[in-house]
Chains A and B, each alone.
Chain A
């Protein structure tokens, strides 16, 4: 999933400060799963905004909505009515959400309520880690199913480096050296010979080097 985290409240209060009628818009996709921008988080943020406004002696006018997803044009329709009388929208989807809202509703000011951090998964309840950097040409089968691009601090394809110590990366004792994990796993699989294969240089044109990316599925287009 896309993992994101809430921006600090003060930052958000400053963003929406000039606007009276606010809409807090959540998303039932990835950010619900990583507990950053689902229905529950919308309720909490809206309540925080109302308390802050009441404290300033203002009458709060904050509406709430949580869309099925904020990354599909058809779900943007769910905003049409509720957004009409709003001065500003605070979207707590990943950064795709506020961009979709900005694209659809020309006259509305949109703010991102989250910092979109990475593509990852949960390690345990409340703990999320990065697993993919969306390089666009997955080659993890060469590395025992583990991604050295996302999970090695240097994105080395021929690690480990000298900073690997007792299975940990030199950047932090909390971070596993993925190259240690790769060696251990290939050893268990009896596939250590994979690491002796000569692999051509990685083609980064599928990554950001080729500019903004697009996927077209002709079979799905209407």
Chain B
């Protein structure tokens, strides 16, 4: 299919999005990531029954924490798509990149670079 998607995205593979915890997303923010999204399987299609639903809740928790910290909650998102949806994967990558570009760089990353 040779689909193009923005080069600024770094893919981190996990066995299931149920493995993704609040601390993993916070660590990314702490290290200066401008945005993070979790790409889980379609809801109802989790091989482990509810991994993607748990991931969605954790993303929600991180959004809450970002708001408390005075950062934009939109910097972290949850998406659902199947492994067969290559075009959708590329579309989400572009959509998220565009959204983060509009928000601008994370103030945490800016401070990290300046230091």
Contact = CB atoms under 8 A, between A and B. Distances in A.
A and B bind: yes
Contacts of B112: 54
Given A8-B68, A9-B68, A9-B69, A55 B30 contact: no
Contacts, number: 42
Contacts of B71: 51, 55
Given A9-B65, A9-B68, A59-B115, A51 B108 contact: yes
Interface string B99-115: 00000000110011011
Interface residues of B, number: 18
A43 interface: yes
Nearest to B32: A54
Contacts of A57: 111, 114
Contacts of A44: 22-23, 26, 65
Interface of A: 8-10, 40, 43-44, 47-48, 50-52, 54-55, 57, 59
20 contacts: A9-B68, A10-B68, A40-B21, A40-B23, A44-B23, A44-B26, A44-B65, A47-B23, A47-B26, A47-B27, A48-B26, A48-B68, A48-B69, A51-B26, A51-B69, A54-B111, A55-B70, A55-B108, A55-B111, A59-B115
Interface of B: 21-23, 26-27, 29-30, 65, 68-71, 107-108, 111-112, 114-115
